[in-house]
Structure 1
Amino acid sequence: MKTSTITRNFILVVLGSAVVAVASCKKTFLEVSSAQNISDNVAIVDSASALTATLGVYDGLQNSYYYGGDGLAAATFLSSGDGLWVGTLNYYNDFTTHAYRSDNTLLYRIWSQIYVTINRANHVIAKVPALDGKLISDTKKNQYVGEAYVIRALAFFDLGRTWGNIPLVLNPTSDPSDVKGIQQSNQQQVYAQVEQDLLAAEPLLPAGVNRNRITQNTVYAFLARLYLYTKQYDQAETYATKIISNSNYSLIDWNTFINNKATNESIFELQFTTADPSSHNGSWSSVNYRNQFCPNKGLYNLVQDPSTGGDRKALIRDVSTPAITNYFVQQLYWRTNGDNPTYIFRLAEQYLIRAEARLNKPAPDYTGALQDLNAVRQRAQVTALTFKDSPTLQSDILAERRVEFALEPQRWYDLVRTKTAATAISLTDTTKYIFPIPYNDLAADPDLHQNPNY
């Protein structure tokens, strides 16, 4: 198996008992079983074990409660106003009504898995640089540490935009006492750490294109997203342009994108296998019975409308029957064997980031913003728009993001960061824009404090 391909199956074979797992909902990310922990002093000792540990970091990212399909994707999709919960577990339905509380089981599992991923990254960052140069090349050292920095940055970014005030755990942990005294950082501080990790990673990583492993291009795409969130629009435009101007990436037709993996559209995607699949298809794609969550009629109508959806109508299928009406299933993760990729960064986002950045930077570039917006629309066979005024163009960009990333975890965060949730989904309680810190962790860590009004 080529090491340039990340699969969780590889990790399960090689890493074995060294994989950190969230085994019980009674545990917190502070509680680590030494038999399952990669932090022991001899776990990372040479090139092979360093690679194994690095792949373990990717494995954390691919967990079903993180980017594997049934955790973060479900919570954010259901919160966005575009999804329905059709299962039997009420703690999922809490997201459609924004009635989530600190004892919500799904929130706990997402939070815990993200911190497991951070802990794995911290082990690589702390231990790989100290390895004997006779046992591993500097190039490999740099690559593995750079990859760990980027995944840690993504984990902190997701925690920051989802929970707001979170602990920045920057060192490996193997015991609850290891995090004693770590106070929560506010969202601005979290994003600053994300930026620091990304800038540290850039010179360590290879410059080439690898759609399943992190490279410098992944850093550029991530920085563009980060700077959009922090409203540093000139930098967002600069980094998005680095990707858009790279001939290795191109907007391809939707049929090619949906039916293939690692296409020119993809900057970084997670790969799964039939032996170790993602949970996307099983969670919200069954045509025989309602699984857990599904698109609602409003989103279906939006993607089916030729003036907004175009070729993106292929994303959602109506499987309603006389007995079950308004039943729609997603088609992005259509492979029933579960080896569907999860898209972390892709080119269309870079165009829409640059469009929004060009519109909002101190000296707005209306022409350039409109061109970027229309590049995404025309790829989907949707009629190009003309410029009317700045507020309309801003609204058009956000509307385009909603359709383009209809089945990817983007819209909830767009509504929150642009403060449009009140008008878009009638969510006027701004304290609901961030989720509550899980109760289990509050009880275990006296340094944690709950978000307001939970």
Structure 2
Amino acid sequence: MKKISYIAFLLGSSMLLPSCQDQLDLKPISQTVVGGDGTGTAGSSIKDAASAEAALAGCYSIFKSSSSEYYVMDYFILGDGESDNAYAGADNAAWFEVDEFRILSTNAVAARDWQYLYGHVASANSIIANVPKVTDAGLSADRKAQIVGEAKFMRARAYFDLVRIFGDIPLVVDELPTITSSNVEEVYGKLYPARSSAEDVYTQIIKDLDEAATVVPKSGPDKMTVTPGAVYTLLAKVYATKKDWEKVKTNADKVIGLGYSLMPNFEDLWDGKHENSAEAIFELNFEDWSTGGNWGSSMFYGTDWKKFNTPSNDLLKAYDDEKDVVRKASTVFTADVTGKWSDKYWPLTKFPFAYKMRNTDASQNIVMYRLADVLLLKAEALNETGDLAGARTLVNQVRTRVKLPAATAADQTAMRLAIEKERRLELAFEGQRWYDLARTDRAIAVMDAVKDGSGNSLKYNVTQTRLLWPIPQGEIDKNASLTQNKGY
């Protein structure tokens, strides 16, 4: 009876949340209950070419609609606000917990981001399971393969974030069936699975991406299309996390070989006048409020209220120490906010804001992957495999654009730190920094050394257990098979 009661309460289960697809009215799994009519699964509405395309459009739209709170805001606060790049800012207690490494299992941000990411997984699973079954002659075999490949990329992208945030997680790759009174015992384990090892999750991510790479479209109407460049970029990131440097080089070379090029001016990436540029590999396109506008810009930039991701004293010092005037100007904006709010880190006469997302009219695009990131990943791989000269060439290519002198690192250790710094200054407020520190085993040392503007230690006291977030308590309460991360 306890199992039946759980299943009747599926509305709150994040594992079952499908995408909110305006283009396709799929029956949400979260609305199936014991005694349902058993007419099919959530993806059973995918029956012909039109509904297959609509399902894919719905999966893409998750970046801008039903999970936008993650993709336009939380992703960036996690990637930069949890790192030495920024303070949480604003006035949200849940983000203060993250920023100060005292997050609880009841943290509201952790709960919602788990749901958003698994919602994207569920949407992709429906496509992967059902599009191959379509017999409509209007959907060619090649197009079927493309659609499935694009969905596999989006599933892999969501799982990559989940495993980096939470560690061992449930791995769900099958579409969940409709629940009836006759199959409840069989289905229960699929609805409430145990955690898989992070290694198994990475294996699935790589499998999805390997299968997607050869079938996704070579190009699209804009950069918000999964192409081989996006797939190989994500593979390079995955292999960098696993420290498989030869495969980082292989996948980075595949990206570089596709013809992307650095924009001549760093500012061109952020001014709103050069969207879907030659440097962009995968970019979320936003136009206006009626089509899922980017409200995230207003979370980081503006003087109407205290924003999230307040640039840290440590980050601005890093720009100044490097004499990196070009990137600092495009990354950080300062304004006089006297009388508007208080702050313990900054004087109000020159208060900093994250500036890369600055257009607050809903039209600001988000560049998720770009060439400079890939060049620096390859430089890292070259350095780790003994090619110091090759690494230096790539680092200098990135530095030359922003009018900085050549890197002077003379050995592998020095170059490792030089690349870490270069990635920080190049990619600040793009959601990268925390993950870079975590994957290079530098998070504890770096965060424990962070000081405020007066040279006082911020005393984060980061421990190994705090490198992962806790499994949301609400998920454990619903799923007896889930266990908690150590230290929570």
TM-score under structure 1 length normalisation? 0.89
Partner of 2:23: 14
- Alignment partners' CA distance in 2, 1:34 and 1:304: 57
Residue by residue, what CA displacement relative to the aligned partner does 1:262-305 show, whole Å, maximum 9, x if unpaired?
00110011112212212321111112321333222332343355
> Are residue 237 (structure 1) and residue 235 (structure 2) matched?
no
Provide the C-alpha distance between the structure 1 equivalents of 2:389 and 2:96, rounded to a whole number of angstroms. Answer: 42
Give the counterpart of 1:64 among 68, 71, 77.
68
- 1:297-324 Cα deviation digits (max 9, x unpaired): 3323433556345344221111134542
* 1:119-140 C-alpha deviation (Å, 9 max, x unpaired): 0000000000010041411122
- 1:377 counterpart residue number: 399
Instruction: Give identity over the alignment, percent.
Output: 27
Q: Which runs of 5 or more structure 2 residues have no equivalent in the other structure?
A: 1-19, 34-39, 180-186, 340-347, 449-460
- Change in Cα spacing, 1:277 to 1:178, as seen in structure 2 (3 Å) is farther
Residue aligning to 1:32: 30
2:125 alignment partner, one of 119, 122, 129:
122
The unaligned stretches of length 5 or more in structure 1 are 1-10, 21-30
Report the Cα distance in structure 1 between the residues aligned to 2:391 and 2:322, rounded to whole angstroms: 22
**Which moved further from structure 2: 181-190 or 400-409?**
181-190
- Distance (Å, rounded) in 2 between the aligned partners of 1:178 and 1:252: 54
- 1:275-424 alignment to 2 at 5 Å? 275=289, 276-303=292-319, 307-323=323-339, 324-325=348-349, 327-361=351-385, 364-424=386-446
- Partner Cα separation in structure 1 for residue 311 and residue 331 of structure 2: 10
Map 1:259-278 to 2 at 5 A.
Answer: 259=271, 260-275=274-289, 276-278=292-294
The 5 A counterparts of 1:90-105 are: 90-105=93-108
State the structure with more CA Rg: 2
Measure how far apart 1:12 and its partner are.
6.0
Select which of 196, 200, 203 maps to 1:189. 200
CA contact (8 A) 1:150 1:197 kept: yes
SS at match of 1:272: coil
SS where residue 167 of structure 1 aligns? Answer: coil
1:157–1:191 CA contact under 8 A, matched in 2: yes
Aligned to 1:48: 50
Residue by residue over 1:389-417, the C-alpha shift from the partner in whole angstroms, topping out at 9 and shown as x without a partner, is 11110001011111111111111111111
- Aligned in 2, Cα 1:305/1:258: closer, same or farther, shift over 3 Å? farther
Give secondary structure in 1 for the equivalent of 2:217. Answer: coil
Contact 2:77 2:88 in 1 (8 A): no
Where 1:52 maps in the other structure, the secondary structure is helix
Cα deviation, 1:135-168, whole Å, max 9, x if unaligned, reads 4111221111000000000111111111111011
Work out whether residues 101 and 462 of structure 2, in 8 Å CA contact, stay in contact via their aligned partners in 1. no
Q: Secondary structure at the match of 1:207?
A: coil
- Aligned twin of 1:252: 264
Provide the C-alpha distance between the structure 2 equivalents of 1:234 and 1:169, rounded to a whole number of angstroms: 29
- TM-score normalised per structure 2: 0.83
Task: Give, as a single letter, the amino acid of the residue that structure 1 aligns with 2:403.
Answer: Q
Q: CA deviation at 1:43?
A: 1.3
